[in-house]
Amino acid sequence: MLVEIKTLLIVQDRDSRLRRLREDLRRLPEEAARAKAGVAADEAALQAAKAAATENEMAIHRHQLDIDTRRTTIGRLKTQQFETRKNDEFTALGHEIDRYAAEIARLEDEELALMEKGEELKAKAAAAAAAVAATRTRAQEDLNRMKERHVTLTAQVAEAEAERAALVAAVDPAVLARYERIFEKKAPAVVVLEHGICGGCHMKVTPTTLTQVKAEKGLAYCENCGRLLYAGLE
């Protein structure tokens, strides 16, 4: 195998590695944002659950006030009824007392239903609080892992870049430029030629190219896709 091909195959390996490492690095902020969004969503759900429980508590309180007001009114009406000497007024006051008593009964039924609902809402809020705590812990762990990963990836990128720089120093700049152009658009740029077929585009090369590749006297390129070719073990 030509030395230049051998070197470019290692360069290509480092370039593929660099591409993966940089892609992993690029994804880290998105992953971090997703972890934070998960916490925010759970926090919003907790706030909504708390608000629903508070609103229900206020409704219970309003019902209690309405019941108390009616009880006071009934007390006042009963005093009036006790003091009156007119039969028709006594009866009228009795009807009014009954009406308020019926309202109290309705309000008490509603209050009972609200209290039952309040238990459910409290349980939901407690579950939402537990979910937030769990998500927050998990997100923090994820973020810590991402920070460590960022450090590792950055070091690996630097290492691969240094290796690559040392390797390409020995490659003809024109060949390197051609390799880089192809790798950028359609990696891999250096491919095996087997049974006369280019390993990149899978087309049959011309007999001239085939002979060139097998002779290993100089660099040969696939006339179809432009990739650098080297002879495979046939």
Binding Zn ion (rule: CB under 5 A), the pick from 97, 132, 193, 222 is 222
The window from 12-20, 69-77, 101-109, 222-230 that contacts Zn ion (CB under 5 A) reads 222-230
CA distance 138 to 136: 5
Of 45, 125, 200, 209, the one binding Zn ion by CB under 5 A: 200
Q: Do residues 151 and 5 make contact, with C-beta atoms less than 8 angstroms apart?
A: no
Instruction: Report the sign of the C-alpha dihedral through residues 70, 73, 78, 79, in that order.
Output: positive
Total binding residues toward Zn ion, as defined by CB under 5 A: 6
- Residue 139 or 221: the one with the smaller Cβ distance to Zn ion is 221
225 binding Zn ion? (CB under 5 A): yes
Beta-sheet pairing, 190-194 with 197-198: antiparallel
Torsion, CA 159, CA 8, CA 199, CA 213, rounded to 10: -170
* Interaction of residue 197 with Zn ion, rule CB under 5 A: no
Residue 49 within binding range of Zn ion, rule CB under 5 A: no
Specify whether the CB–CB gap between 45 and 131 falls below 8 A. yes
Query: Residue numbers of the site for Zn ion (CB under 5 A)?
Result: 198, 200-201, 222, 224-225
